[in-house]
Amino acid sequence: MENLKVIDLFCGAGGASTGLIRAGYDVVGAVDAYQEALDTYRKNLCEGDLTNEFPGSVTFDKPLRADLSQGYDDSGKGENLPEITFEDIRENFELEEGEVDVICGCPPCQNFSSLRDTEPWPDGKPKDGLLRAFVDFIREEVPDVVLFENVSNILNAGEEVPSTYVDWFIRQMKNITRPSDSPQEGGYGYTFKVVNAADYGVPQRRRRTIGIFIYGAEDEEVTIPAPTHARDPEEDSDREPWVEVQDRIFREDLKTDLDLGQKQTGIDGYPDDPAHRSRRHHDSTIEMIEAIREHGGSWKDLRGTNDKDLIKECHQDLSSGARSAYGIMAKDEPAPTLTTRCANVSSGRFTHPTENRAITFREAALLMGFPRDYKLPSVNEHAERVVGNAVPPLLIKKAAEHARSDLQQVKKKEITEAA
């Protein structure tokens, strides 16, 4: 079978695309609105030699910067970016109609981020315009496969919210039919599941919703890949233990005792790595990290100790989401979910396991599963945002391999039935 051709919508800095080329797909187009993420994508996946290591490829010189909201999303991306259709995408990447086998997309659904409140939709309609836009792109091309990734809350935030969002999406996908097919032949078979990236070998607990859709398939023919890892696998299980933080970031080619705020340069035998830099910390922050390390691992462990005065007032309220602020990352577990503030000690359990500093941008990228030499933006905010936003490449690789094998079965069945 030839490599499947995939378009990556909301491609960011290329987490999903990296997984797709590792799975042996050819990425024939990628679109996002965020300039720094697109620059990162281009440097690594269009210009770098990284793709030579993998069975798939990226076939274009640079990803397309455009607004993918199709006018639905009032917030839009501003900046006078063009709103585009799938025809525009084909034109930009010189593709024929019907040439794309797969659309992969992670339309951000900010309404469902676990860091924000959720609420039911008032009139049964998704208020998230980017999902509507995503469905319109699919309707225009009707690829064989659609891969979808999103926050876990779209499936499990509560009774009303998930049924509205996911039901609407599935209903639309069931009704999409190619002009050459009858409604019975058309529509997408699907599966949706919240998975933990750690169960697929990613050194990070990251719960995400994965959706796989295959055109013309029955729902039962579309499946989610079986987990390959577990916290404590049974002896007779074929699952491996979760990959730990130390497996990924305690390595010879990564210095741990950095001068705070300094980048690692000129280590004998290793190339300089500007992404291996940590944010600068105030002395008072370092004092607090030291105390937290001494008393346990979380600011809560300072309560009742002689260091209790170091607790920041804003973190006293346990319900404020600040539970894990300044926490020390355990080295013998997967990392916690990395966010767009994942190199910031005040934003989560993002303190290095053994050093009194935040993890570096390189360490964050490794814990997301990016290749060792993936170039990152030089501005701190952009570096942690593109990493925290990413889909773990290994997770999408496994989903993409699995979807291809399900698609082959569906196609085989169609040929047998037609004979």
Ligand X SMILES: C[S@@+](CC[C@H](N)C(=O)[O-])C[C@H]1O[C@@H](n2cnc3c(N)ncnc32)[C@H](O)[C@@H]1O
d(CA 118, CA 98): 37
d(CA 278, CA 368): 17
CB of 14 to ligand X, least distance (A): 6
CB of 218 to ligand X, least distance (A): 29
CB of 335 to ligand X, least distance (A): 17
Nearer to ligand X, 108 or 274 (CB): 108
- Mutual orientation of helices 393-418 and 15-22 as an angle, nearest 10°? 50
Q: Which residue has the tokens 């600011």?
A: 299
Q: Which residue has the tokens 């440097």?
A: 43
- Mutual orientation of helices 129-141 and 86-93 as an angle, nearest 10°? 60
Nearer to ligand X, 8 or 307 (CB): 8
Tokens in use for 308? Answer: 């209790």
Tokens in use for 134? Answer: 């995503």
Say if residues 214 and 144 touch (Cβ distance below 8 Å): yes
CB of 263 to ligand X, least distance (A): 23
Tokens in use for 319? Answer: 């319900």
Nearer to ligand X, 148 or 190 (CB): 148
d(CA 269, CA 286): 31
The beta strand positions in 143-230, using DSSP E, are 145-151, 188-196, 207-215, 229-230
Nearer to ligand X, 106 or 146 (CB): 106
**Paired residues of 230 in beta bridges:** 241
Nearer to ligand X, 225 or 393 (CB): 393
Nearer to ligand X, 106 or 359 (CB): 106
CB of 104 to ligand X, least distance (A): 8
CB of 171 to ligand X, least distance (A): 23
Nearer to ligand X, 13 or 400 (CB): 13
Question: Which amino acid is it at 252?
Answer: E
Say if residues 56 and 27 touch (Cβ distance below 8 Å): yes
Cα 238 versus chain centre, distance: 26
Cα 129 versus chain centre, distance: 20
d(CA 337, CA 152): 12
Nearer to ligand X, 65 or 193 (CB): 65
- Mutual orientation of helices 361-368 and 380-389 as an angle, nearest 10°? 10
CB of 89 to ligand X, least distance (A): 12
CB of 370 to ligand X, least distance (A): 9
Nearer to ligand X, 37 or 328 (CB): 37
d(CA 214, CA 223): 10
Nearer to ligand X, 63 or 327 (CB): 63
Spatial CB neighbours of 67, under 8 Å, sequence gap ≥ 6: 33, 76, 77, 81, 82, 83, 84
CB of 19 to ligand X, least distance (A): 8
Strand 263-264 and strand 273-277: pairing?
antiparallel
CB of 159 to ligand X, least distance (A): 26
Measured distance between the N- and C-terminal CA atoms of the chain, rounded to whole angstroms:
20
Nearer to ligand X, 35 or 408 (CB): 35
DSSP-derived letter for residue 111 is: G
CB of 374 to ligand X, least distance (A): 11
Binding-site ranges for ligand X (CB under 6 A): 10-16, 32-34, 37, 67-69, 73, 77, 106, 108, 130, 389-391
